[in-house]
A = this chain, B = another copy of it.
Amino acid sequence: MDNFTFYSPTYFVFGKDQENDTGKYVKRFGGTRVLIHYGGGSAARSGLLDRVKASLEREGISYTELGGVVPNPRSGLVYKGIDLCRKEKVDFILAVGGGSVIDSAKAIAAGVPYDGDFWDFYKGKPVTEALPVGTVLTISAAGSEGSSNSVITHEDGMYKRGAGGDAMRPVFSILNPALTQTLPPYQIACGITDMMAHLFERYFTRTSDVEVTDRMIEGLLLAIINEAPKVVKDPADYQAQANIMWAGMMAHNNSCGVGRSQDWASHAMEHELSALYDVAHGAGLAVVFPAWMTYMLDRGGVNRLAQLAVRVWGCQMDFENPVNTAKAGIEKLKQFLKSIGMPINFSELGAKEEDIEEMAHKACYGDGGDGTIGGFVKLNKEDVINIYRLML
For A258, what are the chain B residues with a Cβ–Cβ distance below 8 Å?
14, 246
Q: Which 10 A/B pairs are nearest by Cβ-Cβ distance?
A: A3-B15, A219-B219, A209-B239, A9-B9, A215-B219, A212-B223, A215-B223, A1-B242, A6-B12, A212-B243
For A227, what are the chain B residues with a Cβ–Cβ distance below 8 Å?
211-212
Which residues does A use to contact B, with CB under 8 Å?
A: 1-16, 18, 208-220, 222-224, 226-227, 239-240, 242-244, 246-247, 250, 255, 258-259
A240 touching B11, Cβ below 8 Å: no
> Can you give 5 contacting A-B residue pairs, CB < 8 Å?
A3-B15, A6-B14, A9-B11, A14-B259, A212-B224
A223 touching B211, Cβ below 8 Å: yes
Copies in the complex: 2
For A246, what are the chain B residues with a Cβ–Cβ distance below 8 Å?
1, 212-213, 258-259
For A208, what are the chain B residues with a Cβ–Cβ distance below 8 Å?
239
B226 touching A222, Cβ below 8 Å: no
For A255, what are the chain B residues with a Cβ–Cβ distance below 8 Å?
250, 255
For A9, what are the chain B residues with a Cβ–Cβ distance below 8 Å?
7-9, 11
For A250, what are the chain B residues with a Cβ–Cβ distance below 8 Å?
212, 216, 255
Complex CA gap A211/B258 in Å reads 23
Complex CA gap A363/B6 in Å reads 37
Complex CA gap A342/B226 in Å reads 36
* CB-nearest residue of chain B to A17: B3
